[in-house]
């Protein structure tokens, strides 16, 4: 990024060096929403230039124009204007950039030397609303919005400490997106945030539309189906992981923030887990892990057993399976693929359609297509139940991106199970395991704490132990300060 920026600057400087502000204004006037107006008072004429679509008319009328009419010179004007970050500059590029960020440029048309830049950006943004993707019944109901300022405000109000550092970088030659890297100085490992910063700085791209662009661009293995940064819309989750010594990334215009380094187990922990009793939360977490395995393995196992290993079917289940399959002309693999595709179609159609229509699609698809295909003898009702349950299980993953991955990796398993049966399932599982073992998030092992085995980090992986046992920060983040609080004092209660 730095490279790009420098290149931009040098070329721009060369070009614009000779230009006067008037020619810049004239250039910008090619766009119809750029306005120039001249205000003449008793002493002097001021020229005011701004983008009508970027500035707040209220500020312009009440504060700027009102004062401009009284001032004699730029110096006097700066004293009169009630703004904290007024800039006086002669740099043409800076002026142009500021105008595009919503500033108002005022200059004395006679002296033609100094320009006053006043920030008058119009704040058109969505209200902070309850989270939709990571909804929780208990706990705060705030979620990030598209505004960088608001998002950092939501985090800062949860962590009112001076150690919380925000490093800003700009990414994108066209979009000039502001990206903030957040960490707590003294807790977070330098290596972690420097890696993030360096990767962001090295980016050479035109546009960043969302934080998910950034995930795909800066994660360790870009070809892996597994995301290596958690994206979350919950400011409370960001505040919590910052406290654990991790690094958060906020992208301007993105309602999701990123967290790294992370482990695969973190993707299956909903933040609501911390708001529930630890027993309940641990149970829910285990259910989620079971759901993932179930979702990946159950259809391939069905296909493998029915195609190759009839011996494995319990004797009392044979009749159920045979009866449900007698009228079906397709081999188990086609039967399974048809149903899996149907479910994916339903999901995709539901996701593309507006919410209200989407709901009806679910009902129509689920009930009508399901029962009709069984009655028509295209699929067996046992498989219908299995596939529907597997699809349901894949939706339990709290992080949306990971849920998609789970749905995708089922298909290679399915094909291998048809190809060589249970050996195929085993081989696919080995491949998956090897891939996960090789993955890393910001250079930290992705399968931690299972591999490398760090018993201490198991306190918050498959299960969530009570808070008093969570007194140390995860080893995975390699924090500078490992202790969160004193465990013995945390246990102490004054009656």
Partner 1 sequence: MKKIFQLFLLAVIVFLNGCMNIDTQILDEIQLSSATGYDLVDEDQYEVTVVYPVYESGGGVKNKTLTTTDNLSKEVRDKLNLKSEKPLVSGKLEVALYSRELAEKGISLILDSLTRDPSVGSNVMIGVADGSTKEILEQQYGETDNGIFLSDLIEQNMEAGVIPKTNLHLFMYGNYAEGLDPIAPIIGLSEDELTLKAIGLFDSDRLVGHVDEKDFSLLRVLMEHKSKRDSFSLEINDHEKVSISSMGTTLNYKVSNPMEMSDITIHLKIKAYIREYIDGGLKKIKKQQIEKAFEKDIKERGDALVKQFQELGIDPLGVGEEVRTRSRNWDVKKWDDLYPEISIHIVPEVNITETGVLE
Applying CB under 8 A, which part among 22-30, 345-353, 421-429, 487-495 lies near partner 1?
421-429
Nearer to partner 1, 311 or 495 (CB): 311
Residue 222 touches partner 1, criterion: CB under 8 A = no
Q: Which of 161, 372, 423, 453 contacts partner 1 by CB under 8 A? A: 423
Which residue's CB is nearer to partner 1, number 328 or number 475?
A: 328
Which residue in 83, 411, 419, 429 binds partner 1 (CB under 8 A)?
A: 419
Q: Which is nearer to partner 1, 263 or 299 (CB)?
A: 299
Q: Shortest gap between Cβ of 384 and partner 1 (angstroms)? A: 16
385 binds partner 1 (CB under 8 A): no
Nearest to partner 1 of 325, 407 (CB atom): 325
Q: CB of 68 within 8 A of CB of 39?
A: yes
**What does the block give as tokens for 296?**
């990946």
327 sits near partner 1 (criterion: CB under 8 A): yes
Measured distance CA(322)–CA(93) in Å, rounded: 76
DSSP element (H, E) containing 35:
strand 34-40
Using the contact rule CB under 8 A, the part of the chain among 87-95, 140-148, 187-195, 303-311 near partner 1 is 303-311
> Applying CB under 8 A, does 239 fall inside the site for partner 1?
no
DSSP 117-128: EEE-B----PPP
The minimum distance between CB 294 and partner 1, in angstroms, equals 21
Instruction: Confirm or reject binding of residue 317 to partner 1 (CB under 8 A).
Output: no
According to CB under 8 A, which one of 32, 84, 85, 316 is a site residue for partner 1? 316
Q: Is 310 in the site for partner 1 (CB under 8 A)?
A: yes
Binding mask 331-370 for partner 1 (x = CB under 8 A): xx--------------------------------------
Q: Judged by CB under 8 A, does residue 311 bind partner 1?
A: yes
How far is the first Cα of the chain from the last one, in angstroms, to the nearest whole number? 58
CA dihedral 271, 275, 280, 282 (to 10 degrees): 40
According to DSSP H, which parts of 326-399 are helical?
332-352, 355-363, 370-375, 381-394
> Alpha-carbon distance 12 to 416, whole Å?
57
Q: Does 413 interact with partner 1 (rule: CB under 8 A)?
A: no
**Is the Cβ of residue 51 or residue 302 nearer to partner 1 in the bound state?**
302
The 3-state DSSP composition of the chain as helix, strand, coil percent (nearest 5) reads 50, 15, 35
Interface residue with partner 1, options 127, 162, 326, 355 (CB under 8 A): 326
The two structure tokens encoding residue 217: 């661009």
Q: Show the tokens assigned to 50.
A: 């701004």
Q: What angle do CA 134, 136, 141 make, to 5 degrees?
A: 90
Least Å distance, CB 445 to partner 1, is 19
Does position 308 bind partner 1 by CB under 8 A?
yes
Residue among 45, 198, 277, 319 that touches partner 1 (CB under 8 A): 319
Compute the distance between CA of residue 151 and CA of residue 290 in angstroms, rounded to an integer: 34
Nearest-approach distance from CB 224 to partner 1, in angstroms: 14
The verdict on 223 binding partner 1 (CB under 8 A) reads no
Residue 109 CB contacts under 8 Å (≥ 6 apart), including other chains: 38, 45, 46, 47
Nearest-approach distance from CB 462 to partner 1, in angstroms: 30
CA dist list (Å): 343 to 325, 328, 467: 20, 19, 40
Residues 426-455 that bind partner 1 (CB under 8 A): 427
Q: Is 130 in the site for partner 1 (CB under 8 A)?
A: no
Please, which residue, 220 or 252, has the CB nearer to partner 1? 220
CA distances from 383 to 119, 351, 424 (A): 62, 24, 20
Instruction: Please tell me the distance from the alpha carbon of residue 109 to that of residue 343, in angstroms, as a whole number.
Output: 67
Left (φ > 0), alpha (ψ -120 to 50) or beta: where does 172 sit? left
41 touching partner 1, by CB under 8 A: no
List CB contacts of 82: < 8 A, sequence separation 6 or more.
63, 67
Interacting stretch for partner 1, rule CB under 8 A, among 229-237, 307-315, 397-405, 478-486? Answer: 307-315
Size of the site for partner 1 (CB under 8 A): 24
CB 252 within 8 A of CB 169: no
Say whether residue 467 binds partner 1 (CB under 8 A). no
Closest among 187, 306, 322 to 242, alpha carbons compared: 187
Q: How far is the CB of 332 from partner 1 (least distance, A)?
A: 7
Q: How far is the CB of 50 from partner 1 (least distance, A)?
A: 56
Helix locations, 73-146, DSSP H:
74-80, 92-100
CB of 304 to partner 1, least distance (A): 11
Which DSSP category does 29 fall into?
Answer: T
Helix intervals (H) in 114-224: 148-156, 190-201, 211-218
Residue from 79, 209, 286, 322 touching partner 1 (CB under 8 A): that is 322
Asked if residue 45 binds partner 1 (CB under 8 A), the reply is: no
Q: Which of 30, 32, 127, 315 binds partner 1 (CB under 8 A)?
A: 315
Q: Which residues bind partner 1 (CB under 8 A)?
A: 306-308, 310-311, 313, 315-316, 318-319, 321-323, 325-328, 331-332, 419-421, 423, 427
């Amino acid at each position: 990024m730095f490279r790009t920026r420098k290149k931009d600057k040098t070329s721009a400087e060369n070009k614009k060096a000779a230009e006067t502000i008037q020619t810049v204004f004239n250039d910008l006037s090619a766009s119809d929403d750029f306005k120039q107006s001249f205000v003449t008072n008793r002493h002097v004429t001021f020229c005011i230039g701004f983008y009508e679509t970027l500035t707040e008319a209220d500020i312009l009328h009440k504060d700027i124009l009102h004062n401009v009419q009284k001032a004699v010179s730029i110096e006097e004007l700066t004293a009169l204007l009630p703004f904290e970050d007024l800039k006086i500059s002669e740099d043409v590029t800076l002026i142009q950039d500021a105008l595009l960020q919503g500033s108002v440029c005022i200059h004395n048309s006679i002296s033609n030397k100094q320009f006053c830049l006043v920030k008058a950006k119009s704040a058109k943004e969505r209200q902070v609303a309850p989270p939709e993707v990571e909804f929780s019944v208990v706990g705060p109901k705030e979620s990030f919005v598209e505004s960088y300022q608001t998002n950092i405000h939501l985090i800062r109000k949860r962590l009112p400490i001076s150690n919380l550092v925000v490093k800003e970088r700009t990414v994108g030659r066209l979009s000039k997106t502001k990206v903030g890297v957040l960490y707590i100085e003294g807790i977070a490992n330098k290596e972690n945030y420097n890696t993030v910063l360096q990767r962001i700085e090295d980016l050479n791209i035109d546009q960043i539309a969302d934080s998910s662009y950034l995930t795909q661009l800066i994660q360790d293995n870009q070809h892996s189906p597994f995301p290596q940064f958690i994206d979350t819309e919950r400011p409370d989750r960001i505040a919590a992981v910052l406290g654990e010594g991790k690094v958060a990334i906020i992208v301007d215009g993105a309602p999701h923030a990123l967290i790294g380094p992370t482990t695969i187990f973190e993707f299956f922990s909903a933040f609501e887990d911390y708001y529930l009793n630890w027993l309940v939360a641990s149970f829910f977490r285990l259910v989620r892990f079971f759901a993932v395995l179930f979702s990946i393995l159950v259809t391939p196992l069905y296909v493998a057993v029915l195609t190759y290993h009839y011996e494995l079917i319990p004797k009392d289940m044979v009749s159920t399976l045979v009866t449900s399959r007698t009228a079906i002309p397709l081999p188990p693999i086609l039967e399974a693929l048809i149903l899996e595709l149907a479910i994916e179609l339903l999901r995709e159609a539901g996701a593309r359609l507006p919410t209200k229509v989407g709901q009806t699609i679910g009902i129509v698809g689920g009930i009508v297509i399901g029962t009709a295909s069984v009655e028509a003898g295209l699929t067996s009702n046992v498989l219908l139940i299995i596939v529907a349950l597997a699809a349901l299980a894949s939706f339990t993953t709290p992080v949306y991106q990971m849920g998609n991955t789970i749905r995708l990796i089922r298909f290679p398993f399915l094909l291998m199970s048809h190809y060589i049966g249970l050996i195929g399932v085993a081989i696919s599982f080995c491949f998956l395991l090897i891939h996960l073992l090789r993955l890393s998030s910001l250079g930290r092992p992705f399968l931690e704490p299972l591999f490398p085995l760090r018993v201490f980090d198991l306190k918050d992986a498959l299960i969530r132990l009570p808070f008093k046992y969570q007194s140390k920060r995860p080893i995975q983040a390699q924090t500078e300060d490992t202790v969160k609080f004193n465990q013995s004092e945390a246990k102490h209660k004054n009656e």
